[in-house]
Amino acid sequence: MINPRSLVRALDKHWEAVERIVLLGRDQIGYERDDVLGIFGKIYVHDSLEQHIERLQQLVNAELLIEMSHSNTLQLNENVRQFVGSLLHEHELGLSDILKARISDIKIALEQLHQAFQDRDMAALQQGAVRIDNQLRQILQQLDQDTYVIQDIAERAKAADERMPLSRRYREVLEAYDRYVQPMTELMDTGAGGSFYPLLEEAERVLESLSQQLHNQGGLYSHQVLLRQVGFRVKDLRQSGRLALKQCTNILMPLREEVRRHNHLSAAIGQLLGDVRKKGLRRTFPQKSLPVWRKERPVSVAIGAELLTLMEQVRHYQPKAVDFPEQTVEEMQIPLERVDEDSIRKHLYQNLPVLDLMQWLVNHYGYYQDATLLKLYHKFIRLPDISTSPNTDETQITLKKVRIRLHSHTLEAL
């Protein structure tokens, strides 16, 4: 049995090689030793042949690579392949039958929940909730993996050689649509014909009802939280399933339609060429100008409805008179003041402690403007070398033009 810690360390050490082998596993089952050494030569270009052989032996000793039965051919450990494939999103496209089996298991687990609640068997209730949660997580994982597989299939089809026949180039796309998207669409139908969403709605309703009944009957809080968590996963699956199916359909449908149009065009061209071979070109196209060589179509230019509407509006345009305000003569400007903040700050330090900073400013510098006094007040209460604290009593001070109410600050030396 493979040691988990040794497996993780070996994966970290030989990750580049294992990743390349997993990617090549799409087309190969096993690898000869020379093939693996060739892979090492492309990855570890600065290593010698002896180092490649030593690395190969390390992979075999760590059980990342194992020998196939009745041969010396090497293959990747299945556990390693599944683990690395899940990280690289390298999966085979799932089957709708697997999803149907999981749906059936969820139905059985819901019945188990009902029976456990009626029998007051909280252990069975917990087992049923965990069973449903496991199936929901497996379905979410399958949908996520299938989305990546569909994207990979579409990318491979687009990147294939354009000189290939379209039916061969998009064969995998058509198979994926017929084998996966179409059955999943029927399965996830929200109407009476579907079985996926009606089951999720029933599961959500049952879980919410059981959680509420446990709450009313004073059940354990942990059991209530467990049912609510499973209910949240059901809601998540309802949304994720719809998005995954929509994304897969949007990816494959344009390619499938391209193949369908190509097939229709090929059939029409084939029928036309057959008529030409049977009847001859002149009898097939009795017109003077053959449409396969020249296509005539009338060209007309017309004014759009939007332009006609705009022309009608311009035709009946009437300028609107706008009364602008007269220019004001009085200029509301605040004259600038020259303030020696350094001298005021030194004066403040000499008078510490100050019980009421705002009153102190008014008493000594009341000849300044109101805005200047307020600015000095806010600067002085933020001095880093002075301890400030607001008074508990509210005071009211009248300046030149305004009257302010505040909890003036007390200043003390640190």
Q: Is the residue at 173 inside a domain? A: yes
CB 119 within 8 A of CB 62: no
Same domain, 134 and 78: no
Same domain, 147 and 80: no
**Predicted confidence band of residue 267 (pLDDT cuts 50, 70, 90):** low
- Decide which of 88, 110, 132 is a domain's last residue: 88
pLDDT single digits (tens) 71-127: 778 877 777 777 777 676 555 555 567 777 887 888 888 888 878 888 788 888 888
Q: Is the residue at 331 inside a domain? A: no
For the cut 70, the answer to whether the pLDDT of residue 290 exceeds it is no
- The per-residue pLDDT for 288 is 55
Same domain, 35 and 108: no
CB 376 within 8 A of CB 365: yes
- CA-angle at 159, arms to 154 and 164, nearest 5°: 105
For the cut 70, the answer to whether the pLDDT of residue 227 exceeds it is yes
Spatial separation of the C-alpha atoms in residues 8 and 19, rounded to whole Å:
14
Same domain, 141 and 64: no
178 or 232: which carries more pLDDT confidence?
232
- The per-residue pLDDT for 302 is 77
Same domain, 209 and 227: yes
Same domain, 259 and 176: yes
Same domain, 171 and 204: yes
- Decide which of 225, 248, 273 is a domain's last residue: 273
* SS3 state at 354: strand
| Burial letters 380-391, b for 16+ CB under 10 A, else e | bbeeeebeeeee
Q: Is the residue at 315 inside a domain? A: no
- The per-residue pLDDT for 335 is 63
Q: Is the residue at 328 inside a domain? A: no
Same domain, 52 and 125: no
Q: Is the residue at 387 inside a domain? A: yes
**Predicted confidence band of residue 281 (pLDDT cuts 50, 70, 90):** low
For the cut 60, the answer to whether the pLDDT of residue 9 exceeds it is yes
Spatial separation of the C-alpha atoms in residues 91 and 29, rounded to whole Å:
15
Q: Which domain holds residue 253?
A: 96-273
391 or 336: which carries more pLDDT confidence?
391
R_g of the chain computed on alpha carbons = 40
Same domain, 176 and 225: yes
Q: Is the residue at 295 inside a domain? A: no
Of the chain, the percentage scoring pLDDT greater than 70 comes to 82
pLDDT single digits (tens) 187-226: 776 665 567 777 778 888 888 888 787 777 777 777 778 8
320 or 405: which carries more pLDDT confidence?
405
- The per-residue pLDDT for 308 is 82
For the cut 80, the answer to whether the pLDDT of residue 49 exceeds it is yes
Same domain, 236 and 368: no
User: Do strands 74-76 and 65-67 pair parallel, antiparallel, or not at all (unpaired)?
Assistant: antiparallel
Same domain, 182 and 162: yes
- Decide which of 72, 88, 104 is a domain's last residue: 88
Q: Is the residue at 284 inside a domain? A: no
Number of domains in the chain: 3
Same domain, 78 and 225: no
pLDDT single digits (tens) 293-333: 555 667 777 777 788 888 888 888 788 887 777 765 555 55
Give me the chain's average pLDDT, please.
Answer: 78
pLDDT single digits (tens) 129-174: 888 888 888 888 778 877 877 787 777 777 776 667 666 777 777 7
Q: Is the residue at 329 inside a domain? A: no
For the cut 80, the answer to whether the pLDDT of residue 353 exceeds it is yes
CB 43 within 8 A of CB 19: no
* DSSP per position, 370-413: HHHHHHHHHHHTT-TTEEEEE-SS-EEEE-SS-EEEE-PEEEEE
